[in-house]
A and B are shown apart, each in its own frame.
Chain A
Amino acid sequence: MSDKINGTATTKETSVQSDVVIRVKNLKKYFPIYKGFLIKKHVGDVKAVDDVSFEVRRGETFALVGESGCGKTTTARTMLRLIDPTDGVIEILGTDISRLSREELLPFRRKMQIVFQNPIGSLNPRMTVGQILTEPMLFHKIVKDQQEANERAIELLRMVGMKPYHMDRYPHQFSGGQKQRIAIARALSVNPEILYLDEPTSALDVSVQAQIVNLFLKFQEELGLTYIFISHNLALVRFISHHVAIMYLGRIVEMGEVNEVFDNPIHPYTKALLSASPIPDPAIEKKRSRLILTGNVPSPIARPSGCFFHPRCPFKMDICDKEYPQMKSVSPNHQVACHLVDKREV
């Protein structure tokens, strides 16, 4: 069944198992701020993504985590070239796509698909499910005619746990969870290799969330998909992903294998995020000692000097407001940008 739907991905997966499919190097995205009405003056930048680098291997889930405004969604959108990067390299399947033209990007658009947070906004209300699913296939010429497209669309609906007779219905006739299934089927319709999942379950009810998460896991196993998973829900990140990068004000502060980072967090911000995530067990929850941060995330226009986290950091040292810490490895699978690392070694 999966062969028919995603022939290319399965054959490739057998030949190369753990190669790097995404390599992001020194990625930057600045949004300029202008002042003045007729004569606009460039007065500064919002550094939404600032010098972000990471690699993702085939068949893996890489999570970008952080609070609102940390740059996780901008990073993903820049990688998709939905917005153009200011600087840096975005290597997808061996090709740097950061400077490609619209035409040159087309084959990569097919290989990278996205599932958005809100399924109501991402499905056209005037199109039937059949039209929603067949349009991308016809556009990318994956099928030769409408009939073949319909057959594949029905197959896709089955894969996401829906019925063939849903083809003629409109999005508003479905519940939130079902809409998200349709959005997933559409993303899979063009045989992608990389899926960007931008908070794909946060609009859904708890009892439906697990259904959708399990669907993602099933497709990853069957089709060898690579996921970029964007979320603020750390419990879900731990369950679904292999590697995780914690972002704060446009930069990655800690990155590594998910269990290593979550069981042994080093950056105080990671520690605070983990201790702020409630655990569904009153016996544990009521005894937990928390690391509660004071204050808010500073404005990305006027970021603090040195380490951006120092005004909120409970372990602040003299060096912290002077120098931005370098990213350092604490183990082969775990990197941190924090001055505390040097102190640990002494």
Chain B
Amino acid sequence: MASLLSVRNLSTYFYLEEGVLKAVNDVSFELSENEVLGIVGETGSGKSITVRSIMRLIHYPGKIVSGQIIYRGRGKEEDILKLDEEEMTRIRGKEISMIFQDPLTSLNPLYTIGDQLMETIMQHQDVDRATAWKLAVEMLKKVQIPEPEKRMNSYPFEFSGGMKQRVVIAIALSCNPKVLIADEPTTALDVTIQAQVLELMKELQRELKTGTIFITHDLGVISAMADRVMVMYGGRQMELAPAEDVFHKPMHPYTHMLLKSIPRVDIKQEKLESIPGQPPRMIDVPEVCPFAPRCPRRLDKCSKELPPLEELEPGHYVRCFNPVLGGDKK
């Protein structure tokens, strides 16, 4: 069965005074129905720009320079990058929804929660105000907001951070989208609140079977949420595999080292192995592996050409000339 969303050779560049910043460079992946794909990467690795490209939220000086984004949710194959702006507004929020990191800035402070929920519902569904109100209350109930009828008339500032993020989730899911994109949805929250929101997102995902792209820099959060994981570095995908493979037998040296460099709460560790060097500069980079300058397994050809993304094991894709093979992390 064909997947719900196919991203093929997507490249998004930013044309800056200093030069061309290749924020997303030749990225390809598939998202199936009822699947959670996690994208991990550090600041500037291109994970947010990848999903913003899917929503076509790239503005000057940024530009999607090449690639295809095939969406199959409306019974036919459509290339999102070729749709006109009017068609795109029908996709955003209805077919593909997005949750942003900071719930403070994604809600309008001047409108009540109810107004904002109903706006999305009435935009995409052919219903009157009374029905929209009922649907909105229903959504608030679903994200476990106490006294939903009363809360419909509250303004965002009357909610705590975790509650605001619940409202954002309610808005995103109000039109029952087939694809949900969550860009660091819990990074701004405290740990106990993060646990509540993640639990809620898991429950809703299972219930609604939404294909989900979940972005985070926290490897702990990703292991709780994702079925498959894509690791990005310097605008490129370095590894793409089922979550368990990425964590238990990482093949790319970057993934391998990253996992050894993070502290864990459940065991006593003797030392953390740090990755030497600094994150890459992104402007006018040559077509080679972006991790090569920091990589201990670097070969001569690593700084001359770009390794292809190869399927080394079924479903396990790696972009590396000298991958870590057979090396169990545990």
Contact = CB atoms under 8 A, between A and B. Distances in A.
Interface size range of chain A in the complex:
35 or more
B89 interface: no
B195 A207 contact: no
A81 B258 CA distance: 39
A235 B220 contact: yes
Interface stretch (B65-73, B117-125, B269-277): B269-277
B192 A276 contact: yes
B293 to A, nearest CB: 13
A262 B265 contact: yes
B219 A207 contact: no
B266 A282 contact: no
Interface stretch (B49-57, B95-103, B241-249): B241-249
Contacts of B269: 238-239
B163, B218, B248, B262, most chain A CB atoms within 10 A: B262
A209 interface: yes
A280 B195 contact: no
Interface string B185-223: 000001111111011000000000000000001111111
Contact of B275 (A68, A211, A235, A277): A211
Nearest to B278: A175
A278 B224 contact: yes
B42 A278 contact: no
Q: Chain A: interface secondary structure?
A: helix
Contacts of A206: 42, 217, 219, 258, 261-262
Interface in A194-215: 205-211, 213-214
B223 A296 contact: no
A275 B198 CA distance: 13
Contact of B272 (A68, A213, A290, A294): A213
A280 B268 contact: no
Interface string B97-118: 0000000000000000000000
A99 B190 CA distance: 35
B131 interface: no
Contact of A279 (B199, B264, B274): B264
B160 A296 contact: yes
A178 B247 CA distance: 29
Contacts of A280: 219-220, 222-223, 247, 259, 262, 264
B220 A285 contact: yes
Contacts of B222: 280
A207 B279 contact: yes
A190 B198 CA distance: 45
Interface in B219-245: 219-224, 226, 243-244
B191 A67 contact: yes
Contact of B224 (A211, A232, A285, A292): A285
Interface in A206-233: 206-211, 213-214, 232-233
B279 A68 contact: no
A208 to B, nearest CB: 7
A170 B278 CA distance: 17
A80 to B, nearest CB: 24
B219 A235 contact: no
Interface string B303-329: 000000000000000000000000000
A286 to B, nearest CB: 7
B43 interface: yes
A273 B268 contact: no
A205 B262 contact: no
A43 interface: no
Contacts of B265: 234-235, 238, 262, 274, 277, 279
B162 interface: yes
Nearest to A263: B268
Contacts of B199: 290, 292
Given A175-B278, A209-B261, A277 B220 contact: yes
A205 B217 CA distance: 8
Given A211-B274, A214-B274, A68 B190 contact: yes
B243 A210 contact: no
A346 interface: no
A288 B43 CA distance: 29
Contacts of A210: 261-262, 272-275
Contacts of A278: 198, 218, 220-221, 223-224
A238 B268 contact: yes
Nearest to B226: A282
B19 interface: no
A62 B163 CA distance: 33
A236 B278 contact: no
B330 to A, nearest CB: 9
A310 to B, nearest CB: 15
Contact of B278 (A178, A274, A283, A292): A178
Interface string A165-186: 0000000000101100000000
Given A207-B257, A279-B220, 7 more contacts: A67-B190, A210-B261, A210-B273, A232-B190, A281-B223, A283-B248, A285-B220
Closest 3 CB pairs of A and B: A278-B220, A276-B195, A210-B274
23 contacts: A67-B190, A175-B278, A205-B217, A206-B262, A207-B257, A208-B278, A214-B274, A234-B265, A235-B263, A239-B272, A272-B192, A273-B192, A280-B219, A280-B223, A280-B259, A281-B223, A281-B247, A281-B248, A282-B247, A283-B247, A285-B223, A292-B195, A296-B163
Interface of B: 42-43, 160, 162-163, 190-196, 198-199, 217-224, 226, 243-244, 247-248, 257-259, 261-266, 268-269, 271-276, 278-279
